[in-house]
């Protein structure tokens, strides 16, 4: 969902459900940087990690993902950072 909010598109878009599943399994998606080059590199790394194909490579819970985002941006509130990024993506 976060990737969709930031890019206004599904990260694994396919013409059919089968193609979408194939894209997810093969991690076939455009890099977030190519879709939203203005996003901070730290945020891109965090979102890319959340989309990692291997479960062990992703945050295990939404709470841990938010903790990682807050740690990556200690000068900002996590919710404020996301709201700012989403607003930037929609403009």
Question: What stretch of H or E contains 20?
Answer: helix 17-26
pTM, two decimal places: 0.67
**Cβ(32)–Cβ(39) below 8 Å:** yes
DSSP H/E element including 15: none
What is the residue range of 63's domain? 2-90
- Total domain count for the chain? 1
CA angle, 17 then 52 then 45, to 5°: 125
How many CA atoms, within 13 angstroms, populate the side-chain half-sphere of residue 5? 12
Give per-residue pLDDT as tens, 19-69: 878 777 776 677 888 888 888 888 888 888 888 888 898 888 888 888 888
């Amino acid at each position: 969902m976060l990737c969709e909010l930031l890019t206004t598109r599904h990260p694994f878009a396919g013409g059919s459900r089968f193609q979408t599943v194939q894209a997810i399994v093969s991690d076939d998606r455009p890099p977030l940087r190519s879709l939203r080059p203005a996003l901070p590199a730290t945020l891109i790394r965090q979102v890319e990690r959340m989309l990692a194909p291997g479960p062990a490579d992703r945050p295990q819970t939404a709470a841990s993902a938010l903790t990682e985002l807050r740690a990556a941006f200690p000068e900002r509130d996590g919710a404020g950072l996301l709201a700012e990024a989403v607003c930037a993506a929609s403009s």
